[in-house]
Structures are given as structure tokens and as C-alpha cells.
Amino acid sequence: MHEENEIKSKILKRAFEVFTQFGFSRVTMEEIATGLCISKKTLYKFFNNKEHLVKEVIENEKCDVTVNVDAILDDGSLDFLAKLEKLLSYVGSQSGRFHGPMMADLMRAHPEIWNDIKEFRRQRTTEKLSKLFSEGVEQGLIRSDVNIEIVTVMYVSTMHYLIDPDTILNIKLTPEVVMSEMIKILFEGVLTDSGRSRYSQIKF
């Protein structure tokens, strides 16, 4: 059983690598088997067809994301700000892995899988950020008079708009760079000291 799990894990890892590089439409099951030095019979023992493999690859990545995000948020050595920056950086790096041929194939051939990925991102990000922002309030790093629900919605909406494929194409930046800029703006704001001074005089 352990050996079978190991083989399956290697198949999923290899498939993700070639799918992200070339897109799954251009990669055959035979090429995946050959790259792992296993027979097609062995490959089909674990996966009925390429569509089955694609879905398993996505599910495996979702599990990895969950584990890694939980590890960041459960790290007792990090305060709220360190966790938030690390979390958003991780989201940016993960988004970068899904952009390219594989994403294009998913949007074209399997929109239901792509929509599932987007919904997974939204739900997990909302859940985790809400908890994290509450932690920030407890640590005195977020103002207690701020509505956590609204802050969470703002962050989640901004993140998912910025890493949307159409947005990335229009602004011609990688997801990692986009997320880095978002972190800087959300942490530091866009106003200069003079701007903040002027803002404090305005009554809305």
C-alpha cells in the first residue's frame, strides 16, 4: 500500500509539472508514463484517463495549499503582520503556478474545474483571513473599531480580482509581482505623510 501511494504521488507530481509547462491538452498519458519510467498499464491502474488525472492533480494541489496555509497560520512564532505577509506571498506564488498553458486549458476545456478552483480560493481565503484579522485585533495591530467582515471582503475581493487571468494579462505583471505590490499598498497605504495629514482634515 505504501509503495502504491508513493507511485501515485510521483505520478501526480510529474503530471502537474508537465501540465503547467505545456498544458494538459498537449501532454499524452504515454508521455507521462515514459517520463516516470513506468508502463501505461501502471498509470491506468491509478487513473482511468487523462481527465481523471487532471482532476486528481487539482485535488492534490488543493490539499497541499490547505496544509501549507494552515502551517503559516498555526505558526506561533509569527505575529499577525508576519503571518499576513507570508500568507499573501504564498497565495501569489501559488497563483503563478496556475497561470499559463494549464490555466488556459482548464478555462477552455474544463470551466467547471476552473470555477471550482476559484470558489475554493474564495472560500478558503475568506475563512482564513477573517480568523487572522481577528487575531490582529487581539494583538493590538488592527484597530478594534474596524469591521473585520468588511476588511476581509475587501482583501479577498482585491486578491481575487488582481490574480484573475484577464487582469494579469492587462497589467502585464506576474501574479507574484501583483501580490507583492498589493501587500505593500495594503500595509503602507498610498498616501504620503503630507497626504495623510491632509486626509485627517477631511470630514466625510
148-176 pLDDT, tens digit each:
999 899 888 887 777 776 776 677 777 77
pLDDT the model gives residue 161: 79
Query: Sign of dihedral through CA atoms 66, 68, 71, 77?
Result: negative
Q: How far apart are CA 140 and CA 159, in angstroms?
A: 24
pLDDT the model gives residue 132: 93
- Residue 13, pLDDT above cutoff 90: yes
- Residue 35, pLDDT above cutoff 70: yes
* E-assigned strand segments in 34-110: none
Q: How many CB atoms lie under 10 A from the CB of residue 188?
A: 8
Residue with the three cell numbers 487575531: 135
Say if residues 69 and 83 touch (Cβ distance below 8 Å): no
Say if residues 114 and 103 touch (Cβ distance below 8 Å): yes
Interacting residues of 93 by C-beta distance below 8 A, sequence separation 6+: 175, 176, 179
State the cell numbers at 28: 499524452
Q: How far apart are CA 50 and CA 40, in angstroms?
A: 12
Q: How far apart are CA 165 and CA 116, in angstroms?
A: 15
Residue 77's SS3 state is coil
Among 100, 89, 125, 121, which residue's Cα sits nearest to residue 25?
A: 100
pLDDT, tens only, 71-101:
999 999 999 989 988 888 888 788 777 667 8
Interacting residues of 90 by C-beta distance below 8 A, sequence separation 6+: 68, 69, 72
Q: How many CB atoms lie under 10 A from the CB of residue 85?
A: 17
pLDDT the model gives residue 135: 93
Domains annotated on the chain, with CATH: 2-199 (1.10.357.10)
> What's the number of CA atoms in the CB half-sphere (13 Å) around residue 106?
21
| 177 burial type by CB count under 10 A (0-12 exposed, 13-18 middle, 19+ buried) | middle
